[in-house]
Structure formats: C-alpha cells, structure tokens
Amino acid sequence: MEFNFVLPKDFKSQSVAHLLEQTWLVPRKQRHFLRMKKHFLVNDRAVNDDEMLVSTDRIKIIFDEEDFPLLEVNFGDEKLAEILYEDEHLVIANKPEGMKTHGNTKDEFALQNHVAARLNQPVYVVHRLDEVTSGAVLFAKNQFVLPILGRMFENNEIHREYVALVHGHFQQKKLTINQPIGRDRHDKRKQIVSKTGKMAITHLSVLTDFRQHSLVALSLDTGRTHQIRVHLQAIGHPILGDLLYGKKEHEPRLMLHARQIVLRQPFSEQILEILAPSQSFDARCKQEEDNENQRNRR
C-alpha cells in the first residue's frame, strides 16, 4: 500500500514522530516498519522521526503486505451495497433495515461483506448500527486510517443525526436526555437506564407533531448500545416498531434512521456531510402526513 498526502495549509508544524504517533495514531509495530525500511518520505526524501513537518509538505507512506496483513472478509453481493461516499481511505454506505452491519461468524453475510464486494477489497468496521436501524455507516478502507477514525468517534468528532417517529408529544421542542445506561441483568438482549451505568447523552428536537406521534431529530454525545431506543423508552416516548423496548404493535419497521453523518476527512481536512435516504422510513412518515391531512379536511 502506498499513500500520498499534501499536508493542509492550516497544518500545525510537528515532528514525524508526533504526526505518526499522536495525530495519525499509527500502531507502534507499523511505525517501527516505516522507520526501519525508510518508508516515510517527505518531498521525495527519507527522513527520521525528528524531522519537522510544515504545511504543504508532500508525504509518501509505503506499507508492505506484512506491515498490515489484509483482513479476510468473504465478499457478499455488490448489488446490496449502496455507496454514499468513497475516497482513498474511507467509504460510507447506506444500510437498509433488517441487515446487520457485520456478521457474527465468517459465514454470515452482512453490509460489510456487500461493501467489500462492491469495492473488490476488504473494509473495516468503524461503528455499527442495530440490525433493525437503517442509515449511514462508516467503514475504513485500510488499517492505516482505522484507528484514526476510531479515535474520532471516541472524541465525538464524527457526528450522526438520526430521525425517529415516536409515540406521544413533547412539551418542549428541544431537550437533552442525560441518563446513564447499563446492561439489563434480567434480559441480556436489552440495556436500561441505570445509576451504575455509563454516561449517555442524547439531544432531541421535535420536527413535526402528528395526532398521536412525533417526528424527532436526535444526535448523540455518546455511543452506548441501543442508546436512542433506551432513552426514548425511559422518558415515555418509545419508537414506533420497537419490539424490544416499545409497544407490541404492527409496524413495517423500527422507525429509527441514521440520516446524516458529518466528519472531517482526517487527511484532506475536507468536511464531509453525507445524507442517507430511506424510502421505507419516508413512506411511513408520508402515511402520517396523509392521515393528518384527511383529518383536517373533515
């Protein structure tokens, strides 16, 4: 693998060692290979770890196959991979409801396998969505960028916006749910609000009030398992179609969709704002609108 970069104009001067270890989070083993093989070049010359880098420097990094062994991923069906964005280092795909982000076994096919087939190369999971949730999912295209994107998620530098159709109405148009979440000791499938759980913060904005339901937008400061579903159930507004946390009702799907992901491309510094459409989510919301219009005409 060979990667070429031009350091952005607002790049803060730093040493090669700092860039690789602190900024780009290249694992120690791979940093050792770059040093020993002289595979880190600045403006076409090999440099040592103390070399200071400045904006507009041209960087070339070379990794041999043994430096980063390829992940073994069975290729799925490329027709099942809807690609929303792709560059040299990352890809964002639109996951439909009812499909896992990644399989639990080598023989189980999921979005990761289908994206790999579409790109004709392995891809690496950065984050996941529940099987019943649809929307934008980010994958790394190489193990060089994988820890960088992982750290960005941990530092809340990658923002995801969800939409959900929920039961009931809200007194406030905007609110923040700050309630810790932990595992349900009585049902291993579920999470619950718990004083001994981990901090979990969800921001909510009401988009539309229907007769019995509300369409809301949500964003997260934390990424706990089932966070949105648990928080909404805890405040008395479960998501329509949530058979695990909500009411046992006939709905075509869980009405939760990750409609946008926003991040800074870690090497080019470009701000990416990627929207993910969902026909099934929109169709159910359209049904609510049509019902509302019919009532208003009576």
Over the stretch 213-251, which tens digit does the pLDDT of each residue have? 999 999 999 989 999 999 999 999 999 999 999 988 889
- d(C-alpha 124, C-alpha 116), whole Å: 9
pLDDT bracket for residue 298 (50, 70, 90): low
pLDDT at site 258? 98
Mean pLDDT of 84-111: 95
What share of the chain in percent tops pLDDT 70? Answer: 99
C-alpha dihedral sign at 179, 241, 100, 258? negative
- The β-bridge partners of 162 are 218, 258
pLDDT at site 105? 86
- Cβ-contact 42, 53 below 8 angstroms: yes
pLDDT at site 268? 83
pLDDT at site 24? 86
Q: Is the pLDDT of residue 295 over 80?
A: no
pLDDT at site 101? 97
Strands 82-86 and 90-95, bridge-based pairing: antiparallel
Q: What is the pTM of this model?
A: 0.90
- d(C-alpha 10, C-alpha 269), whole Å: 9
Span 11-40, pLDDT tens digits: 899 999 999 998 888 888 889 999 999 999
Quickly tell me which residue has 């560059």 as its tokens. Answer: 87
Mean pLDDT of 69-93: 93
pLDDT bracket for residue 279 (50, 70, 90): very high
- d(C-alpha 66, C-alpha 74), whole Å: 20
Active site members? 130
Domains and CATH numbers, the chain: 2-67 (3.10.290), 70-155 (3.30.2350.10), 159-259+284-293 (3.30.2350.10)
pLDDT at site 265? 92
Span 168-207, pLDDT tens digits: 999 999 999 999 999 999 999 999 999 999 999 999 999 9
Mean pLDDT of 135-143: 96
- Of 23-27, 86-90, 91-95, 118-122, the least confident: 23-27
Summary mean pLDDT of the chain: 93
Quickly tell me which residue has 């960088």 as its tokens. Answer: 148
pLDDT at site 267? 87
Span 51-68, pLDDT tens digits: 999 999 999 999 888 888
Q: Is the pLDDT of residue 104 over 90?
A: no
- Cβ-contact 16, 67 below 8 angstroms: no
Mean pLDDT of 97-115: 94
Q: What value, to the nearest 5°, has the Cα angle with vertex 157 and ends 153 and 163? A: 80
Paired tokens of 100? 């896992």
- Of 18-32, 91-105, 276-290, the least confident: 18-32
- Cβ-contact 222, 180 below 8 angstroms: no
